[in-house]
């Protein structure tokens, strides 16, 4: 992240409006925001928020289980999901910092392989992920459309 005052912390119930804003900007559904905050507080699906100047401007989640065990199996494989940064805070390294933070959190939970997925047309996300060493390994349909999957070993 840049020298501007910024922190990454666990999501709090009061973050709901900011999370909705992030997801609206990204073109994603917002209905799940309250359930996700609850799932983070219970430890089931941890979510963290990046603050810039005291405002929540970015988020990332760690999905520990997915219907596809290659994506997250509740053991050594987990997925970084829901990465989003408000346009007003873009290109300051916050998306990269959130991804690296999620990696550290995953490692501390015993995760050995992290996966990610995004639309094949999302050049910004792909550049960010490939820049951090994630490699493409498959494309598949998800509920929201075609997804390209990337993964990275945390053991190297
Ligand atoms: C993708 C996203 C998270 C990037 O967040 P960000 O904080 O602006 O990204 P960073 O400043 O950390 O950028 C890290 C790298 O990502 C790439 N990148 C980020 N935005 C980019 C853009 N608009 N165009 C091309 N590359 C981009 C660059 O390689 C960049 O490195 P550099 O700045 O050293 O060139 C943000 O644009 C976003 O929330 N988009 C909508 C939701 C989304 O697509 N989420 C991720 C996929 S599910």
Ligand 1 center from residue 95 Cα (angstroms): 6
Ligand 1 center from residue 101 Cα (angstroms): 15
Ligand 1 center from residue 99 Cα (angstroms): 11
Q: Which atom of ligand 1 is nearest to the CA of 25?
A: 41
pTM metric for this prediction: 0.96
The answer to whether the beta carbons of residues 93 and 129 sit under 8 Å apart is no
pLDDT of residue 3: 40
Go through the domains of the chain in sequence order and give each one's CATH number: 6-116 (3.40.630.30)
Strand partners, 65: 73
User: Within its chain, how far is the Cα of 14 from the centroid?
Assistant: 19
For 117-147, what is each residue's pLDDT tens digit? 999 999 999 999 999 999 999 999 998 899 9
How many Cβ atoms sit within 10 Å of the Cβ of residue 154? 15
Report the chain's C-alpha Rg in angstroms: 15
Above 90 in pLDDT, residue 88?
A: yes
For 18-64, what is each residue's pLDDT tens digit? 999 999 999 998 999 999 999 999 999 999 999 999 999 999 999 99
d(CA 128, CA 113): 18
Nearest CA to ligand 1 atom 9: 95
From the number of C-beta atoms within 10 Å of its C-beta (0-12, 13-18, 19+), residue 83 rates as: buried
How many Cβ atoms sit within 10 Å of the Cβ of residue 131? 10
């Amino acid at each position: 992240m840049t020298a501007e005052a910024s922190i990454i912390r666990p999501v709090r119930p009061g973050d709901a409006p900011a999370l909705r804003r992030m997801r609206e900007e990204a073109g994603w559904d917002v209905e799940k925001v309250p359930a996700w905050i609850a799932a983070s507080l219970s430890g089931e699906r941890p979510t963290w928020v990046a603050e810039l100047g005291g405002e929540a401007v970015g988020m990332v989640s760690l999905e520990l289980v997915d219907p596809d065990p290659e994506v997250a199996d509740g053991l050594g494989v987990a997925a970084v999901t829901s990465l989003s940064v408000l346009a007003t805070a873009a290109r300051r390294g916050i998306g990269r910092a959130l991804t690296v933070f999620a990696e550290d959190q995953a490692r501390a939970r015993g995760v050995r392989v992290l996966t990610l997925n995004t639309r094949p047309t999302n050049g910004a996300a792909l550049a960010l992920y490939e820049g951090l060493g994630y490699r493409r390994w498959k494309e598949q349909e998800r509920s929201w459309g075609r997804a390209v999957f990337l993964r990275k070993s945390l053991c190297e």
